A and B are shown apart, each in its own frame.
Chain A
């Protein structure tokens, strides 16, 4: 009886119904759809690169801080003789 229940459940797994009711796929037409406003002006004037430069500078600052902390930790670990 128990085995029968498992078999029924397994068979039910094979049944599925697909309903294509909404937009599910992003395709090429979405990359070319001029009806949607995007930051094209900003890009055409090169301003996007300014934004990117700012962000990369901030990120570089964070990474620099991380490396300095690493150095301090290494020094401390050597002092206390942790491997």
Chain B
């Protein structure tokens, strides 16, 4: 994916998000006031993270089927950037929550679930570092990656909806659609999701290329 068009697209879309997110009209809602604009920054972090983790799990499966170490490199570097996006999502969420929900951590199910998800993927990194043999490292961590993904999806999307929650769309709160019925927020939100996800993929692609160079030098690839 050495092509440049989607990287330029990422820059354009994220710049559009920055400009539009600050300047365009936002609905005037109780408690949220101007912070509704955080929608275009906090939520795309999570969308981007889930997209990249899906790709990572996919490449782990591809590695297990083909034995080609290149796929294992794709998997680990996608996880690395997903962890970055996840940490940023947690941090931005805590800042947003501090001023709207009253405190940075409310024990909200989705907050807890995303923290647990982060821990699961940090354990993936630890697992890889604990194994020295390259082939074993790839095989064992690929299996773990698939299970990690299988745990993440219910944690993030199913469990918070089954219980009381502060997040929109979970625990009996009106869903996301409620914020987008007249489409004006959507005009910035959808490009934001695409732009931030492409940016994340760009970061992952750079790390992948660096990893491949290092592997070739060490003659592992």
Contact = CB atoms under 8 A, between A and B. Distances in A.
B202 interface: yes
A36 B15 contact: no
A82 B22 contact: no
B108 interface: no
B213 A36 contact: no
Contacts of A82: 212-213, 216
A22 B174 contact: yes
Given A26-B180, A80-B213, A36 B22 contact: no
Interface residues of B, number: 34
B182 A66 contact: no
B22 A30 contact: no
Interface residues of A, number: 32
Secondary structure class of chain B's binding surface, majority of residues? helix
A31 B203 CA distance: 37
A24 B27 CA distance: 13
B18 A52 contact: yes
Interface in B166-221: 174, 177-182, 184-185, 202-203, 206, 209-210, 212-213, 216-217
B26 interface: yes
A8 interface: no
B178 A25 contact: yes
Contact of B182 (A28, A55, A69, A70): A28
Contacts of A22: 174
Contacts of B98: none
Interface in A48-83: 48, 51-52, 55-56, 59, 63, 66, 69-70, 73, 76-77, 80, 82
B28 A59 contact: no
Contacts of B213: 73, 76-77, 80, 82
Contacts of B184: 31
Given A22-B174, A77-B213, A80-B217, A56 B23 contact: no
Contacts of A76: 213
A70 B178 contact: no
Contacts of B177: 24
Interface of A: 22-28, 30-39, 48, 51-52, 55-56, 59, 63, 66, 69-70, 73, 76-77, 80, 82
7 contacts: A24-B181, A26-B178, A26-B185, A31-B26, A59-B18, A66-B202, A80-B216
